[in-house]
Each structure stands twice: as structure tokens, then as C-alpha cells.
């Protein structure tokens, strides 16, 4: 193994070239529907390493790729699932990049390009680790599954589709941006709160609605939405005081009023207003409980207002795509620090990098929650800093990419050469 890890230093340029190749594929989401060529590259890469390939369209132009390398004794030895997403954050007009985002460059030992940190660097490192093991003639006793999924950036949950297809393992590593820390995560759900008036009024009726003696029972849905927003702020403050979870700073359970849409045009009293919110919750909570808690609170707020009491807000939660139906869910991911997979990864990290692994919670979300919800013990562990993800001039330290690849090479070998614990997958 020492000689194998030394090869990564000697073949660093080959590793970086692989990351560059992935970055050159333009897979921003939105607009999405653009990952077919990149996924074909990964499918071919895995097939050449002996993997059996399952490739299917989640959306037109956006296929998932799952490669399975059957172990020599999969009944008795641990299986491993490696997961990552091929889509990257969108590029907005006017962003001041130093170079084309999809033309990767290396300056001062830093790799620049869209997806370098989030998360084509992680994909490249894991793929290269597998290649080294295969070239060394290593036959793993345990099964190895590699998932390259679509849609993570817009909540399209390519990983969920893999879970529905029945893919499983004794342990999973999501090689997403974590600065080579071992992490779990909280969860996120988006929702729409809509106020709809039973009647529609001309703008000339406003005086009759708001002045003494006007006699018209009506209201602007936009103005009434301000009461809903204030109610959400009160609940958010209450959560900050009453909720906590190890590894998170206080107040991570936020409710963000992200988008508001309302009214027809200036000649009408606004008869409809919709608010799009993003809600973060802790690993000991689930999105269904959170949605119910918000609904109960907001309905109580509405019932205290005479007009809202007669025009109660409605709710629509989650969704399978921020593009298709303007909604998403990311389940939370609690981690078990005593799990053999986590302990093995932490041990390898320390032995390879000569520093203790940091185990904690990510302030963002990944597809790891879907794997955890499917019953697969899962952690997030990948190269790159969150401050560089989605950023102009997105970047990744090549030294960290090399370190990550070394850890994954040894971890894949050790975990798939470890006998299963009785009762595991």
C-alpha cells in the first residue's frame, strides 16, 4: 500500500488531468439536461476497470451511471458505495471569472474551474483510486459500487433514483465538498405558502377596504403575506432558543423567505400571493415533522387575523426538482461515530495524512441524506472548501486532491477486505 500511495504523488499530473477532463464537460444545473457526454465518459472509465454498468435517463439528457464491481467473496466481506454528482452550479451572466469556467487551469498548485471543489475533484480522486487498485492487480473481496448521479444542485435527487433501484452497501461515502472532514448533515425542505382571496377587486376599491366605514371586507394578499412572514420569523427565533444538535452552532434551523410572487397588475388589489421558503432542520428531525410544525404555527397566526381566518393559507412542500416543479427535499444525515466504516475511514485518514480526522456536521446539504434514509450507513468525505463551491473562480488545492485520493485508495482496500459484522447488508 505504501508503494501504491507513492504512485499517486508520481502520477499527480494524471490525476489532475482526470479532474480537468471532468470539468471540461459543461454540466451546469440549471439549465441541466446536459450530462449525457460526461456520464458516458464515466461509464466507459468504470467499464474499462471491470465494472458492470447500469445507465438510465432520469431526465432526457441527464442519465445516472452506476457501476458495480463484484467482490471475490461478497457474502463475507464488506461492501462499499461511493457516490457523487456530475452536475455543477450554474454560471450567471456577468460573473467575473479570470478564465472560461469550463476551461480548467492550474496556477500555483491550485486547480480552477466550475466544479473543481463541488465536486468533480472528488469524483476524479475516487475514480483514480479505483484505477490504481485495479492496475496493481488488487481483487477486492467485498463489492464496490460507484454512483455518478445527476441533479444534486437542483434537488433532482439522482441518488434517490439509485435507492429506488435497490442499490445498497454496508457503508457509503459521498465524496462531496467537506475539506476532507468526515461529516453528517442537517436537512432542507422547500415549501410554498399561498394566500388566495375568494374575491377579486379593482384597485379603486382599496379605500373601501382600509378606511373606517368603507364597508368592504377585502384585503391585499401581498399585505397579508407580511403577517405570515412575521409569523415565520417568530417560529425561527423560537427554534433557535429551543432546538440544538451536537456539531451545529445555535440557530442553524433557519426559515428563509426566499421568493415572493403576487398580484396581477396595478389595476387590481392583489388577490393572490405565494411565498417560497427554504427550511433547514437538524439530523434528529425529518421533513414531514418540520412541515407539519410550520403549518400548525402559520395557521394559528392566520386565525388571529379576521380576513386570513376566512382565507386561510395553503401549503405545498418539497418537490422532485427545482427546475420541473420548483421544490426540493434533502433528508438529514445523522452519523454514528462508532460505526466500523466511519472508524475505519478516520483511521486511514490519520495514518495517511498524519493528522486526526475531524468528525462533525456539514453546514450545507448533499445527497447523503437519501442514502441514510435508505438505511445505508453514510458519511460525507471529499476534497474542497465550501467557500470555493459555487464561487466565481471555483478552485481546489491539488495537494488536498492528492491527499484525498490517497485516503480513498487505502480505505477502499481496507474496507472491502474487512469481514462483515453479523447482521450487516
* Residues with a known catalytic role: 87, 152
Alpha-carbon distance of 253 to 228, in angstroms, equals 18
Alpha-carbon distance of 90 to 84, in angstroms, equals 17
Alpha-carbon distance of 45 to 173, in angstroms, equals 20
DSSP per residue over 239-257, as a string?
HHHH---TTS-TT---EEE
Query: Residue 279 in 3-state DSSP?
Result: strand
Alpha-carbon distance of 185 to 147, in angstroms, equals 20
DSSP 358: P
Nearest to 282 by CA among 331, 345, 315, 217: 331
DSSP per residue over 57-96, as a string?
EEETTEEEEEEEE--TTTTTB--EEEEEE--B----TT--
Burial of 28-65, coded b for 16+ CB within 10 Å and e otherwise, reads bbeebebbbebbebbbebbeebebeebbeebbeebbbb
Q: Do the bridges between strand 144-149 and strand 52-59 make them parallel or antiparallel, or are there none, so unpaired?
A: unpaired
Phi then psi for residue 196, to 5 deg, are: -125, 120
Amino acid at each position: 500500500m505504501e508503494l501504491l500511495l507513492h504512485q499517486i504523488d508520481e502520477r499527480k499530473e494524471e490525476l489532475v488531468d482526470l479532474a480537468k477532463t471532468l470539468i471540461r464537460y459543461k454540466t451546469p444545473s440549471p439549465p441541466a439536461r446536459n450530462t449525457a457526454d460526461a456520464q458516458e465518459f464515466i461509464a466507459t472509465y468504470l467499464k474499462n476497470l471491470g465494472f458492470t454498468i447500469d445507465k438510465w435517463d432520469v431526465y432526457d439528457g441527464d442519465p445516472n451511471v452506476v457501476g458495480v464491481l463484484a467482490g471475490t467473496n461478497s457474502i463475507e466481506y464488506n461492501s462499499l458505495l461511493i457516490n457523487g454528482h456530475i452536475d455543477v452550479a450554474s454560471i450567471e451572466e456577468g460573473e467575473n471569472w479570470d478564465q472560461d469556467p469550463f476551461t480548467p487551469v492550474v496556477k500555483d498548485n491550485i486547480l480552477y474551474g466550475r466544479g473543481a471543489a463541488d465536486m468533480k475533484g472528488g469524483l476524479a480522486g475516487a475514480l483514480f483510486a479505483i484505477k490504481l487498485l485495479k492496475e496493481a492487480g488488487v481483487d477486492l473481496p467485498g463489492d464496490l459500487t460507484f454512483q455518478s448521479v445527476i441533479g444534486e444542485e437542483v434537488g433532482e435527487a439522482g441518488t434517490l433514483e439509485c435507492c429506488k433501484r435497490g442499490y445498497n452497501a454496508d457503508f457509503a461515502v459521498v465524496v462531496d465538498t467537506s475539506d476532507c472532514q468526515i461529516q453528517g448533515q442537517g436537512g432542507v425542505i422547500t415549501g410554498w405558502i399561498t394566500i388566495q382571496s375568494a374575491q377579486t377587486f379593482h384597485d379603486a376599491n382599496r379605500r373601501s377596504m382600509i378606511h373606517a366605514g368603507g364597508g368592504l371586507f377585502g384585503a391585499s394578499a401581498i399585505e397579508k403575506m407580511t403577517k405570515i412572514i412575521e409569523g415565520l420569523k417568530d417560529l425561527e427565533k423560537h427554534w433557535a432558543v429551543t432546538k440544538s444538535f451536537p456539531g451545529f452552532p445555535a440557530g442553524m434551523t433557519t426559515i428563509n423567505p426566499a421568493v415572493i410572487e403576487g398580484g396581477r397588475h396595478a389595476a387590481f388589489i392583489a388577490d393572490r400571493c405565494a411565498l417560497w421558503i427554504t427550511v433547514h432542520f437538524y439530523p434528529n428531525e425529518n421533513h414531514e415533522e418540520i412541515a407539519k410544525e410550520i403549518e400548525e404555527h402559520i395557521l394559528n397566526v392566520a386565525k388571529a387575523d379576521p380576513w386570513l381566518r376566512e382565507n386561510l393559507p395553503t401549503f405545498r412542500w418539497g418537490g422532485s426538482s427545482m427546475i420541473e416543479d420548483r421544490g426540493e427535499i434533502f433528508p438529514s444525515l445523522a452519523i454514528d461515530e462508532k460505526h466500523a466504516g466511519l472508524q475505519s475511514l478516520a483511521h486511514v485518514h490519520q495514518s495517511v495524512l498524519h493528522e486526526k480526522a475531524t468528525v462533525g456536521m456539514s453546514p450545507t446539504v448533499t445527497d447523503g441524506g437519501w442514502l441514510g434514509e435508505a438505511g445505508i450507513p453514510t458519511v460525507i468525505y471529499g476534497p474542497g472548501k465550501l467557500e470555493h463551491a459555487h464561487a466565481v473562480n471555483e478552485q481546489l488545492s491539488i495537494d488536498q486532491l492528492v491527499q484525498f485520493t490517497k485516503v480513498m485508495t487505502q480505505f477502499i482496500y481496507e474496507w472491502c477486505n474487512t469481514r462483515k459484522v453479523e447482521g450487516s447488508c
